[in-house]
A and B are shown apart, each in its own frame.
Chain A
Amino acid sequence: MPQPNGTVAVAEGGGGVSPNAGRVSKPRGRFFPVGIGPVARKELADHLSGLRFGILLVLIGVTCLAAVYAASSSIREAVSQAQTFEFAFLNLFTSSGENLPSFVSFITFLAPLLGIALGFDALNSERSQGTLSRLVSQPIHRDAVLQGKFVAGLGVVGLALTALVVIVAGLGIVLLGTTPSLEEVGRLVAFIIVTAIYVGFWLALAQLFSVLFKQAATSALASIAVWLFFAIFASLIVGLVVDAVAPAGEGATNAEVIRHEELSDDLNRISPSTLYDEATTALLNPSVRSLGVLVYEQIDRAVVGPLSFGQSLVLVWPQIISLIGCVLLFFTVAYILFMREEIRA
């Protein structure tokens, strides 16, 4: 279509860039929002060069290495007493030393902090810096901002966890004098992935709060409040509720005891920490055969032995899916809130 006076169809002096029509509709905009790549790259660089991530990494690294060192001495003792010791390597992560909790319990406790620290100021800091209005006026989809930040956060977490597990594994080879079997490696990889999802849960929550609250401090406090609730109070409350609803005191029938335990399990599973706890327990302890109540009849005449990796995975599949579901839920809410928000300086 000839345009005699060339009205605005083409950007001035594109300098090698095609006219605007070609600039926007890139094929990758179809599935991923346009602009997620640059946002994620920038956020990743920010995290890696930032002081905050460094502090957290040192904190988690030091505590976990201490835990592993403590665990290794007790494992060596156990190995020296028994002739065979299956999955010694995994024990490095799950068994506790004399004075210190295990690697996994440290991670369970600190992982939320990592997620919160990486996400609590994701959007409100952009807003208070005045960069958000610049960002959303670029030709990118608005959800690319949230998703890019989430992807970057998860990337950093994955990187840190992998590094940590590899260091611990290396340490284990030196301390225990054995190498991990292929199955152990598989289980460790699954552990890293599940942990990343768990951190993703807290990251998504913190990001949601960063959209919801204009002040970074408010959203940090809100996230920490949720973390403390699940870490400390949730199980207490569940205990009270279960005792009230399905009491199983002295002289209770089997049915009552089972009902009590099952209700307690179900309610506890509302908490993401419980889900994560169960998932990692089953993944790192091949001998765990069930995460619920087992009555004697069920294990009568069962062949005692570890589960295969695949079976362990089947066991924790619901937990993993629930965690992913929570992440998606938070993400969706944050997305809806952010989409509807009008950004003014």
Chain B
Amino acid sequence: MGDVVEREADREVREMPDDNHGSVIVASGLTKKYGDFTAVDGLDLEIQRGEIFGLLGPNGAGKTTTILMLLGLTEPTEGTVRVAGYDSVRDPLSVKSIVGYLPDNVGFYPNMTGRQNLRYTASLNRIPRKVAEERIEALLADVGLNEAADKRAGKYSRGMRQRLAVADALIKHPTVLILDEPTIGIDPEGVREMLSMLARLRDEEGMTILLSSHLLHQVQEVCDRVGIFVGGHLIAAGPVPELERQLAESGDLEYEVTAVASDGRQVDGATLEKLADSLKSVDGVQDVTSERGTLSVRSRRDVRAEVAKAVVALDLLPVHLRQRGLSLDDIYERYFHEGAEADHASA
């Protein structure tokens, strides 16, 4: 975006940020194209005040591009995005003054100490010196860098850098915090600490947090909602349990069914085959396999009732009927898989 636009925005009378039903980040039809390549395709996203939203997706899915557009660091090809009521394209300075951003692959000036690096950020945010010193002290304590504060940032380990980056993003006391792959390169203990810090910021300060990650299992517990982002499309969004349910409703399901003859004896092979055939004819069932007397039914929808009926119709008794559990990683992999397939199809 041109600087001209930024300056013009300065002159305008600032409209009060509108409420938007509690949505702090509102993107609609957000699209970014690089030549022929569409990095983000018609993204609609609303993030509520005081929630932690996890933008999940494989590398190259368009997460960083989305974040850059939210911050006004790159101009969308189409669509609009508002952060706390400010238009990111027309008024990026206002957006940047209330959004703390932790970029992917963050770095610091190696010849300055951690404290000096934070001081510089504070001065860029026009925070008065005294206030800045207090905040720096408190934030360094929060992220556990008290002792290393006066060491040169060039000597910091990856994990320390990441923690300094969190302090750096928080120094402006942002309303919205955007973190791009915040857990990369830090040890499990560090990840846990960072995530609990994010939860604390949400609970105590009511901060709205958007974080991107390609590691679902790391961030799922702290996210109120997640959005699964593949190939520039947001293919699902919601709380993790709800995604699970959505998956159960839309995707392939697996049921195990074991039946016995009416006299309680084991079912012989011929009957089992007959049962399998009748199950295959049930609408939605894709495949039935048999393994040691137990049938596995793969289906597009919930067919438990039909399965039970089919068993009874053959004068057998169902003794075991259960939906196979799907772990979150299963969901995640499945979504990614679908996304990848969609990519191949479109390519």
User: Which A residues are closer than 8 A to B by beta carbons?
Assistant: 1, 3, 5, 7-9, 11-17, 20-21, 23-26, 29-30, 33-35, 38-39, 41-42, 46, 49-50, 129-131, 133-143, 335, 339, 342-345
Contact = CB atoms under 8 A, between A and B. Distances in A.
Given A134-B101, A134-B107, A342-B68, A26 B6 contact: no
Contacts of B206: 12
Given A25-B10, A46-B111, A134-B103, A13 B128 contact: no
Contacts of B109: 46, 129, 131
Contacts of B68: 342-344
B168 interface: yes
A133 B97 CA distance: 15
Given A16-B128, A136-B73, A139-B96, 12 more contacts: A11-B175, A17-B127, A21-B94, A24-B93, A26-B126, A38-B124, A50-B111, A130-B103, A139-B126, A339-B2, A345-B64, A345-B103
A14 B107 contact: no
Contacts of A139: 93-94, 96-97, 124-126, 172
Interface stretch (B13-21, B142-150, B209-217, B331-339): B13-21
Interface in B227-272: none
Interface in B176-213: 176, 180, 205-208
Interface of B: 1-3, 6-7, 10-11, 14, 16-17, 19-20, 22, 24, 49, 64, 68, 71, 73-74, 84-85, 93-94, 96-99, 101, 103-111, 120-121, 123-128, 131, 134-135, 165, 168, 172-176, 180, 205-208
B239 to A, nearest CB: 21
A261 to B, nearest CB: 45
A11 B14 contact: no
B10 A30 contact: yes
B207 A12 contact: yes
Contacts of A13: 173, 205
A23 B84 contact: no
Contacts of B207: 12
A8 B84 contact: yes
Contact of A23 (B2, B97, B99, B176): B97
Contacts of B105: 130, 133, 345
Contacts of B10: 24-25, 29-30, 34
**Residue among A7, A41, A135 facing the most chain B CB atoms (10 A cut-off):** A7
Given A5-B22, A139-B96, A14 B173 contact: yes
A259 B11 CA distance: 55
A9 B17 contact: yes
B124 A342 contact: no
Contacts of B19: 3, 5, 7
B97 to A, nearest CB: 4
Contacts of B123: 38, 41-42
A43 to B, nearest CB: 10
B124 A35 contact: yes
**Residue among A20, A21, A130, A137 facing the most chain B CB atoms (10 A cut-off):** A137
B175 A12 contact: yes
Contacts of A342: 68, 73-74
